Amino acid sequence: MLPLSLYIHLPWCVRKCPYCDFNSHALNGTPLPEHEYIDALLSDLAHAVSKISPRPLRSIFIGGGTPNLFSAAAIGRLLDGIARHLPLTSDIEITLEANPGAAEAQRFVEYRNVGINRLSLGVQSLDDGSLQTLGRIHTADEARQAIAVARDVFPNVNLDFMFALPGQTMDRLDDTLREVCGFGVPHLSLYQLTLEPHTRFHHAPPERLPDADTAAAMQEHIEEVLAIAGYARYEVSAYAQPGAMCAHNLNYWQFGDYLGVGAGAHGKHSFFDKEGKIVRVERTVKQPHPRRYMESAQTAPETLTVESRIVSRDEFAFEFMLNALRLRGGVPRTFFPERTGVPLADIASMVRDAIARGLLESDETVFRTTAPGWRFLNDTVQCFLADSEEKGKKRLTAKNA
Ligand SMILES: C[S@@+](CC[C@H](N)C(=O)[O-])C[C@H]1O[C@@H](n2cnc3c(N)ncnc32)[C@H](O)[C@@H]1O
Ligand code: SF4
């Protein structure tokens, strides 16, 4: 059966960072509607589960926003509610995203006690000047303390960083990387800072941003330093020690199903015939506005989905490869027919074209980018657009964090 994951979105932050285009809303000192929002999430989940083929959850990712604004009691109530709606696999990965400075790190012990087994900490930088430019609410030392507690408490920890920051030099990046390697956490995510539309940085770009060549050199340097320290770059922005790849994100990239619950959450789920073959794949987006989300969840949960789209037969090649080719090791060929319901013969000419252009390699078992195909990933993925006029327009995008 196609793996199933659950993404839960908690949409509040202490304040809004100037580079952030996620569905996050500054609390500005107003109280967190913790109880009401957890009720809304459970009502949303109950309705979502009634629409799909229920099966055990392989992973849960509680993202934001700043989920560690929520108390451990609230997170515990959420996890108990989830377990009442769907069975959980015995080795389920349950991640909570957390920001240093949002609550005392002591809360981490309580999160572990209610069932969280992986913490993803948004560190971004270990340089106080950069943290200030990024509008973060924590200092580098507060981040270091949070990392130390996280490492003691959780078997599995991810740290998020951004690079190509305003004024960042190769030397400064190198200092950060050496310190990061010393933490010895199992998983790291390093994202190049992007100026997303509708953010303050997009309207007023910060000064001294590294140019594209420097950013590319930084990306190479990160990969080299982390490889020496035992981290494999297994996806565009993700690095793991052996055995520590993120199960939840792997499921996105391998075209598994996921329920999206919470304000603005994205979901993807498949419908099967009696033989278990996929007949339809639907993508959904929930009401993004937190207040409207809570009101609808209580009165009419069937109205929470504000966008829904059935993936058409000629969109599968692009949608599948957009995700799968982000993985450096590629994806089993059999996943394409199994997870889209479309035979491999339908994409044979696109595959041949990508191979002929030196961007893709494929043996009996996997589809994988070549070294140039990995370097120019947008071009590689665009080989799989059905409508050639669309080529050049669509870019790589990420969903749900
Ligand atoms: C869902 S977001 C935020 C998680 C958490 N609230 C925080 O700020 O640490 C997950 C990660 O995306 C990255 N990110 C957010 N906006 C970005 C941007 N404009 N460019 C690059 N990376 C970004 C950050 O590293 C962030 O930790
Ligand atoms: S980057 Fe994180 S903390 Fe900052 S506004 Fe976005 S979700 Fe909130």
Q: Is residue 173 classed as helix, strand or coil in its secondary structure?
A: helix
Q: Which domains does the chain have, with CATH numbers?
A: 4-250 (3.80.30.20), 329-390 (no CATH)
Token look-up 């140019």 returns: 211
The Cα 83–Cα 77 span in angstroms is 10
- Smallest CA-to-CA distance from 189 within 243, 229, 239 is with 239
Determine the residue of 10, 14, 16, 137 to mutate for testing ligand 2's pocket, defined as the one with the most ligand atoms within 8 A of the Cβ atom: 16
Q: In this structure, are residues 296 and 276 in contact, taking their beta carbons and an 8 Å threshold?
A: no
C-alpha of residue 198 to centroid of ligand 1, in Å: 15
Q: What's the confidence (pLDDT) of residue 395? A: 47
Determine if ligand 2 sits within 6 Å of the CB of residue 16. yes
Rg, Å, the chain Cα set: 21
Half-sphere exposure of 188 (CA within 13 A, CB side): 29
C-alpha of residue 234 to centroid of ligand 2, in Å: 25
Give the ligand whose atoms come closest to the C-alpha of residue 99.
Answer: 1
Determine if ligand 2 sits within 6 Å of the CB of residue 67. no
Q: In this structure, are residues 5 and 58 in contact, taking their beta carbons and an 8 Å threshold?
A: yes
Determine if ligand 2 sits within 6 Å of the CB of residue 200. no
DSSP 39-85: HHHHHHHHHHHHTS----EEEEEEEES-GGGS-HHHHHHHHHHHHHH
The model's pTM:
0.96
Strands (DSSP E) contained in 113-256 are 118-124, 156-163, 187-192, 232-233, 238-240
Determine if ligand 1 sits within 6 Å of the CB of residue 284. no
Residues across the chain: 401
- Smallest CA-to-CA distance from 306 within 316, 318, 293, 321 is with 293
Distances (CA, A) of 353 to 185, 217, 347, 359: 41, 30, 10, 9
Half-sphere exposure of 199 (CA within 13 A, CB side): 20
Number of H helices, E strands in the chain: 15, 17
DSSP 327: B
Q: What's the confidence (pLDDT) of residue 398? A: 39
Instruction: Beginning with the edge strand found earlier in the chain, give each strand of the sheet holding 331-332 in spatial order.
Output: 331-332, 366-369, 360-362
Average pLDDT per block of 10 residues along the chain, 401 residues long: 97 97 95 98 98 94 98 98 98 98 90 98 98 97 97 97 98 98 98 97 97 98 98 98 98 98 98 95 98 97 98 97 98 98 97 97 95 97 81 49 50
Name the strand (E) or helix (H) holding 339. Answer: helix 335-340
- Smallest CA-to-CA distance from 243 within 252, 231, 251, 235 is with 231
The Cα 48–Cα 114 span in angstroms is 24
Nearest CA to ligand 2 atom 7: 65
Measured over all CA atoms, what is the biggest interatomic distance in the chain, rounded to whole angstroms?
59
The Cα 27–Cα 295 span in angstroms is 18
The residue type found at 152 is D
Tokens coding 298: 């209580």
Q: In this structure, are residues 254 and 324 in contact, taking their beta carbons and an 8 Å threshold?
A: yes
Tokens coding 2: 């196609």
Q: Is residue 31 classed as helix, strand or coil in its secondary structure?
A: coil
Nearest CA to ligand 1 atom 7: 122
The residue type found at 330 is G
Nearest CA to ligand 2 atom 2: 65
Determine if ligand 1 sits within 6 Å of the CB of residue 340. no
Buried b vs exposed e over 348-374: b needs ≥16 C-beta within 10 Å? eebbeebbeeebbeeeeebbbbbeebb
Q: What's the confidence (pLDDT) of residue 389? A: 53
- Smallest CA-to-CA distance from 153 within 111, 96, 102, 95 is with 111
> CB burial class (10 A; 0-12, 13-18, 19+) of residue 113?
exposed
Distances (CA, A) of 249 to 94, 153, 390: 12, 22, 27
Tokens coding 194: 């992007």
Residues paired with residue 278 on neighbouring β-strands, in sequence order: 272
